[in-house]
Structure 1
């Protein structure tokens, strides 16, 4: 018989405490199918059903009521063990300096920083932001941060940990003639006669847009150049011109449409250090690798109302 894992016990406790598989999945940052799969695995391990799904709630079975106190006790003991280990590793207090390109600090870092704050409230994060990957790499080489997060650095001699693939999307206004196409894709050549929402000089995303448009056979004229990376998808959705953005920086509610470029535009993101990282840096990199939302399915078609690059 399989032995229940701490993660499975955490899932059980969270479902019971939230009263819902949906709310538990949101709190645990997992999908509902993944949560349901782990709950079935736990029930298989203990030899019987633990939860009964009702139309608007979940209810513990008799076996579930017997198992729940032990699950809570096991999680509490594991947390005590983690506290001892964190004290030994220096994770109870201190400061970690993280450097990132603008788009990373907008897209993948916020949920990671939120989780870090909950897990290690005594370890402060100092975030340094850079508009271009070259500036990020130079700052890291100069010792201005403990960990850098951005595109994979060329020629870097220190440790590098790849985080995943970030996909780019083209942003158009909701009433654009191309917005309603069923394929959800657009070739950059279809936008060759448009003036673009561009990035200010010095922003690495300006280089990236120019690079891929040049490969498509045209130069993208600028209708407007934005100093702030976060403003670009909003300006495009407002109808000032198409924009090319990392899909994960687009806010969940905005008046616009995201289309996947055809062929796709992607880049690999990584976390890197100068030397072998200390335990605090390793812990942050581990959390980043687990929670960073940089996957090839990130770009999406949506319509909601209401060198390297930065």
Structure 2
């Protein structure tokens, strides 16, 4: 292996992009550099690491055994460099950095609106970048890999980094106007809706899993009338008569709030803020902003929907 004080992070990134794209030509196009220049960077990296990193195939490339053995370390190195840059930037001044938040689309439409608005007003020199993930497990994987300063989502599973409890949110059911239960008052027992055709979420939307779990706990599998990928669309479709829909309470459009009914027992999820390792200064400042929200307390006898897998993390910061 060629002696060198360091391995170029730029060349590591180029190599990983080649693997992601499956060819040098596609990678060069994505990186906006010439193919010969990219090949030259790759050869220099291979000299430093002691052997070929890519195997040429009839249609593209794949990592060699040496390359496969180094992939994890290469990705970790790039993620660490990105974290270092973010932390240095936020430590220098909160007013001139970038706040990067990983979250779920349903929370951007509701819970995060006011904290983000206040942050924008109070930190006028700081830009905000949202990383939205439709599935909780994708969000957790990305944050574990170094994406974002802070994540706001339901509690992650078996998390080794810091986790801050924020509060609880109830799910409510919206019923079509002609549904027999729509004329009743008070909370609805979910099992009473077992025979309805439901407005459900596409599998690519993480709320699909939460609805399935809530209905399973009530003893039935919901029968779909329609699938949608948008949470507010689910509420409007229910109000339009297509079937009941289960929606986080903060995502109910204001004009439909009178049609939203709580459940008996309540169905809730826990919302948290978390990070891969210690919270950076900019992340800690944003968590302070989040805690100004009027978060709900846990209702009695509530059914708590789990995180991205079946078991909660044991420790909380």
TM-score higher than 0.5? yes
The alpha carbon displacement at 1:174 in A equals 3.8
CA shift digits 1:113-145 (9 cap, x unpaired) = 111111011111101111111111011011121
* Structure 2 unaligned spans of 5+: 1-89, 300-305, 310-317
The verdict on how the C-alpha distance between 1:93 and 1:112 changes in structure 2, with shifts beyond 3 A counting, is: same
Instruction: Please give the secondary structure, in 2, of the residue aligned with 1:219.
Output: coil
The verdict on how the C-alpha distance between 1:104 and 1:144 changes in structure 2, with shifts beyond 3 A counting, is: same
- The one of 181, 186, 189 aligned to 2:188: 186
The alpha carbon displacement at 1:254 in A equals 3.0
* Structure 1 unaligned spans of 5+: 1-86, 298-306
- The equivalent residue for 2:4 is none
- The equivalent residue for 1:9 is none
The verdict on how the C-alpha distance between 1:231 and 1:91 changes in structure 2, with shifts beyond 3 A counting, is: same
- The equivalent residue for 1:130 is 133
Correspondences of 1:44-123 after superposition (within 5 Å):
90-123=93-126
TM-score (norm 1): 0.65
Correspondences of 1:219-258 after superposition (within 5 Å):
219-254=221-256, 257-258=259-260
Instruction: Please give the secondary structure, in 2, of the residue aligned with 1:178.
Output: helix
- The equivalent residue for 1:166 is 169
User: C-alpha distance in 1, partners of 2:180/2:194?
Assistant: 15
Instruction: Please give the secondary structure, in 2, of the residue aligned with 1:179.
Output: helix
Check whether the contact 1:103–1:229 (CA below 8 A) recurs between aligned residues. Answer: yes
User: C-alpha distance in 2, partners of 1:147/1:88?
Assistant: 15
Instruction: Please give the secondary structure, in 2, of the residue aligned with 1:209.
Output: helix
Check whether the contact 2:168–2:268 (CA below 8 A) recurs between aligned residues. Answer: yes
User: C-alpha distance in 1, partners of 2:166/2:242?
Assistant: 33
TM-score (norm 2): 0.63
Check whether the contact 1:237–1:256 (CA below 8 A) recurs between aligned residues. Answer: no
The verdict on how the C-alpha distance between 1:101 and 1:88 changes in structure 2, with shifts beyond 3 A counting, is: closer
- The equivalent residue for 1:308 is 307
User: C-alpha distance in 2, partners of 1:223/1:117?
Assistant: 41
- The equivalent residue for 1:79 is none
- The equivalent residue for 2:51 is none
Instruction: Please give the secondary structure, in 1, of the residue aligned with 2:256.
Output: coil
- The equivalent residue for 1:20 is none
Check whether the contact 2:96–2:126 (CA below 8 A) recurs between aligned residues. Answer: yes
Check whether the contact 1:91–1:280 (CA below 8 A) recurs between aligned residues. Answer: yes
User: C-alpha distance in 2, partners of 1:295/1:246?
Assistant: 15
CA shift digits 1:84-123 (9 cap, x unpaired) = xxx9861211101101012211120111111111101111
- The equivalent residue for 1:22 is none
Check whether the contact 2:91–2:281 (CA below 8 A) recurs between aligned residues. Answer: no
- The equivalent residue for 2:197 is 195
Instruction: Please give the secondary structure, in 2, of the residue aligned with 1:137.
Output: helix
The alpha carbon displacement at 1:202 in A equals 2.5
Check whether the contact 1:173–1:255 (CA below 8 A) recurs between aligned residues. Answer: no
User: C-alpha distance in 2, partners of 1:176/1:255?
Assistant: 17
Check whether the contact 2:176–2:182 (CA below 8 A) recurs between aligned residues. Answer: yes
Larger Cα-atom Rg? 2
Q: Aligned pairs, how many?
A: 214
Check whether the contact 1:90–1:279 (CA below 8 A) recurs between aligned residues. Answer: no
